[in-house]
C-alpha cells in the first residue's frame, strides 16, 4: 500500500507539471490584465458613472474597456457580462481605482482568500486544532502553484473566494455553528448562484443554517436590487441561456459535464459532434444533474437521524454540486473540490486514499495540457470526452464520498 501511495504521488506530480512552465507563465502575464475580471470591473465602473442600470451590451462593453484602459474580451455571440448583480456590489470598491491598480488589488485580495482557503483546509484535516502558521504558509505556496489556482489568477476569476467560503462553511458545520455555516454559504451563493443548491441540504438538515443562508443571499440580493437596479437582474436571467449555448462547447469547459454533451451533440465551432441534437444535449445534462441531486438527497435521508459529525461526508459530497450542476466550469472552478477532497483523504482507508490521490492527479492536469492533447480545433469526439477530464474526476469524488459515507 505504501508503494501505491508513492506511485499515486508521483502521478500527481507528473500531471501537475505536464504542461511545463506554461501555466505559470500564462498566470504571470494575465494577472496584470485578467480577462474575465475585466467584465466585472467595466460593469461596476459603468454603475459608478451612470447609476443604476443593466450591464454593458456586446461590443459596447469592449468599447468601455478601451476607455478605461482595460483589455477587450472575446464574446462569441454571448453577453458581455453574466455575473449576478450581487457580484457587481463586491466589485464597486475596486471600480473607484484605475484599471491597473484595480487589477493588482483584486489579485492581492485573491491571494488573501487563498490564505483563508489554506487555513480552512488544514482545519478540515485536523479538526479541533489550530492550523500552524508554518503549515498555512506552506500550503498557500503550494496552492499558488497549483494549475487551477494559476488559471484563476490569470483570468481574475472568483473561484478562490468561492472555495474559501465553502471550505470555511464546511468547517463551521462540523463545529456545529449553524448560523455561520449558512451565512458563509449564503455569501458564496451571492457571488455565484450555483452554491444555492446547498440550501437543499440545509433545509433537510438544519433550519437555522438554512435561515441564515437565505438571509445572507436574500439580503445581498435586496441591496443589489436597490443599488444596481431591477434591470440588471432581469438581464442576468434573460442572458443565462444564451451565455450557456455560446460557451458550453468551448474547449476550456473541462469541469462541466455539459461541456462534454455540448461538444458531442451540438453544432459549434469547436468540435465535430457525433450527432447534432442540441435538445438531447440539454436533456442529458438535465438528467445527469437530477440523478446527482437525487443521490445527494438520498444520502441525507439515510443519515437524517444521525449527528452532524456523521453528516460531514454527505455535506462534502454536496459541496461538489456547485461545480457538477454548473453548465460552465473552467479548470479554475475545481478549487471548490479541495474541501470535499480533504474530507475524503482524511476519513478514507489507505486504499481509498490512493483513489483520492488519483482524483487529485486528474484535477491537477493543466487545461493547457488537455487542450494540446485534444489537437486542432474543431476537435473530434474522443478529444471532446478527454476535455471533460476534470468533470469526470469531480463525479468520481462525489461518488466516492457517498460510498465512503455508506460504508462508515
For 247, the grid coordinates are 460557451
3-state secondary structure 174-215: HCCCHHHHHHHHHHHHHHCCHHHHHHHHHHHHCHHHHHHHHH
Confidence at residue 91, expressed as pLDDT on a 0 to 100 scale: 97
For 330, the grid coordinates are 473552467
What is the model's pTM?
0.95
- From 263, 257, 259, 256, select the one nearest 277 (Cα to Cα): 263
Confidence at residue 281, expressed as pLDDT on a 0 to 100 scale: 97
For 137, the grid coordinates are 504558509
Cis peptide before 378 (omega within 30 of 0): yes
* Alpha carbons within 13 A on the beta-carbon side of 28: 6
Angle at 291 between CA 340 and CA 121, to 5 degrees: 5
**pLDDT, block means (10 residues), the chain with 408 residues:** 69 94 96 95 96 93 95 91 95 97 98 98 90 95 97 97 97 92 97 95 93 97 96 94 94 97 96 96 97 95 64 91 96 97 86 87 97 96 97 97 63
Confidence at residue 8, expressed as pLDDT on a 0 to 100 scale: 72
For 246, the grid coordinates are 455560446
**Can you give the C-alpha Rg of the chain in angstroms?**
21
Beta-carbon contacts of 216 under 8 Å, excluding residues fewer than 6 positions away, are 182, 183, 184, 185, 186, 187, 189, 190
Beta-carbon contacts of 46 under 8 Å, excluding residues fewer than 6 positions away, are 53, 55, 56, 64
Q: How far is CA 168 from the centre of its chain?
A: 15
Beta-carbon contacts of 131 under 8 Å, excluding residues fewer than 6 positions away, are 118, 119, 122, 123
- From 196, 190, 188, select the one nearest 169 (Cα to Cα): 188
| Cα gap 247→328, rounded to integer Å | 7
Length of the chain as a residue count: 408
| Cα gap 324→321, rounded to integer Å | 5
Confidence at residue 170, expressed as pLDDT on a 0 to 100 scale: 95
Confidence at residue 407, expressed as pLDDT on a 0 to 100 scale: 46
| Cα gap 408→392, rounded to integer Å | 24
Q: What three-state secondary structure class fits 379?
A: strand
Amino acid at each position: 500500500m505504501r508503494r501505491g501511495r508513492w506511485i499515486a504521488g508521483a502521478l500527481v506530480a507528473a500531471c501537475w507539471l505536464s504542461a511545463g512552465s506554461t501555466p505559470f507563465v500564462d498566470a504571470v502575464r494575465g494577472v496584470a490584465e485578467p480577462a474575465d475580471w475585466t467584465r466585472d470591473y467595466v460593469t461596476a465602473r459603468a454603475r459608478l458613472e451612470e447609476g443604476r442600470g443593466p450591464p454593458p451590451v456586446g461590443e459596447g462593453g469592449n468599447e468601455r474597456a478601451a476607455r478605461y484602459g482595460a483589455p477587450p474580451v472575446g464574446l462569441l455571440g454571448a453577453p458581455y457580462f453574466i455575473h449576478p448583480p450581487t457580484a457587481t456590489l463586491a466589485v464597486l470598491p475596486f471600480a473607484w481605482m484605475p484599471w491597473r491598480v484595480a487589477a493588482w488589488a483584486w489579485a492581492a485580495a485573491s491571494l488573501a482568500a487563498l490564505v483563508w482557503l489554506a487555513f480552512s483546509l488544514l482545519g478540515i484535516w485536523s479538526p479541533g486544532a489550530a492550523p500552524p502558521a508554518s503549515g498555512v504558509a506552506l500550503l498557500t505556496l503550494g496552492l499558488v502553484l497549483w494549475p487551477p489556482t494559476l488559471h484563476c489568477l490569470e483570468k481574475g476569476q472568483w473561484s478562490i473566494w468561492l472555495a474559501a467560503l465553502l471550505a470555511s462553511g464546511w468547517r463551521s458545520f462540523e463545529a456545529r455553528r449553524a448560523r455561520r455555516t449558512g451565512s458563509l454559504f449564503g455569501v458564496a451563493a451571492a457571488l455565484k448562484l450555483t452554491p444555492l443548491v446547498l440550501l437543499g441540504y440545509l433545509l433537510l438538515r438544519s433550519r437555522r443554517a438554512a435561515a441564515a443562508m437565505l438571509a445572507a443571499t436574500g439580503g445581498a440580493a435586496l441591496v443589489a436590487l436597490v443599488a444596481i437596479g431591477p434591470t440588471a437582474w432581469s438581464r442576468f436571467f434573460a442572458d443565462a441561456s444564451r451565455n450557456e449555448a455560446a460557451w458550453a462547447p468551448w474547449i476550456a469547459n473541462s469541469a462541466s459535464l455539459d461541456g462534454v454533451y455540448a461538444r458531442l451533440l451540438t453544432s459549434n465551432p469547436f468540435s465535430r459532434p457525433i450527432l447534432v441534437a442540441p435538445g438531447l444535449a440539454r436533456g442529458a445534462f438535465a438528467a445527469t444533474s437530477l440523478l446527482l441531486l437525487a443521490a445527494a438527497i438520498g444520502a441525507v435521508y439515510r443519515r437524517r437521524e444521525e449527528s452532524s459529525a456523521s453528516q460531514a461526508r454527505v455535506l462534502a459530497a454536496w459541496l461538489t454540486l456547485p461545480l457538477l450542476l454548473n453548465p460552465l466550469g473552467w479548470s479554475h472552478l475545481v478549487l471548490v473540490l479541495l474541501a470535499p477532497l480533504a474530507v475524503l483523504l482524511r476519513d478514507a482507508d489507505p486504499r481509498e486514499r490512493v483513489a483520492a490521490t488519483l482524483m487529485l492527479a486528474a484535477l491537477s492536469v493543466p487545461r493547457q495540457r488537455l487542450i494540446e492533447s485534444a489537437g486542432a480545433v474543431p476537435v473530434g469526439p474522443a478529444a471532446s470526452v478527454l476535455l471533460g477530464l476534470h468533470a469526470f474526476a469531480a463525479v468520481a469524488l462525489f461518488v466516492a464520498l457517498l460510498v465512503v459515507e455508506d460504508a462508515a
